[in-house]
Amino acid sequence: MQTFARRRSTAGRLARRLSLAILCPDRIAGDVVWFSRGEKHWHVALGYVAVLVVAATLLYGRRLQEHKYPNEASGGMWAAGDGFLQIFSACLFMVPTVFLVWVTARFEAFYTASVLSKLGFERRR
């Protein structure tokens, strides 16, 4: 008969293996697959492209609605909807930016340059 601690550790190992199988199927056989720095940057770039496509599609659809219903689009409710859509688009761009910061945090020179360029400051020497 197994003790409680042994059953708990067996259940913990099973849960870890199951979570690894869901997140990365290559790891279940013991083969750990790590992404290189270039692959991580490509994933972040693809995230920016995907967000740009979604935001452009939403904004274009909104403009089509404004051309179809010009009288209704002049009211305050439509203006509030435009504001919410722009806030939503800006928040969408935060998702790949978080991953960009996470990926580049280990490389101080690149990280400093990218953060300063995003903030619009010059680096003083």
- Between the two ends of the chain, the Cα-to-Cα distance in Å is 69
- Indicate if 17 and 44 belong to the same structural domain: no
Domain of 4 in residue numbering reads as 1-34
How many structural domains does the chain have? 2
- Indicate if 94 and 124 belong to the same structural domain: yes
- Indicate if 29 and 41 belong to the same structural domain: no
Share of residues in the chain with pLDDT > 70 (%): 69
- Indicate if 29 and 67 belong to the same structural domain: no
Q: Are 54 and 95 in contact (CB under 8 A)?
A: no
- Indicate if 10 and 40 belong to the same structural domain: no
Rounded to two decimals, the pTM is 0.60
- Indicate if 27 and 45 belong to the same structural domain: no
pLDDT per position as a tens digit, 68-120: 998 888 888 888 999 999 999 999 999 998 888 788 777 778 777 777 777 77
62/17: higher pLDDT: 62
pLDDT at residue 23 in the model: 47
Separation of alpha carbons 82 and 40, rounded Å: 34
Separation of alpha carbons 85 and 46, rounded Å: 22
Given a cut of 80, is residue 14 above it in pLDDT?
no
Q: List, in order, residues 6 or more apart from 37 with CB less than 8 Å away.
A: 103
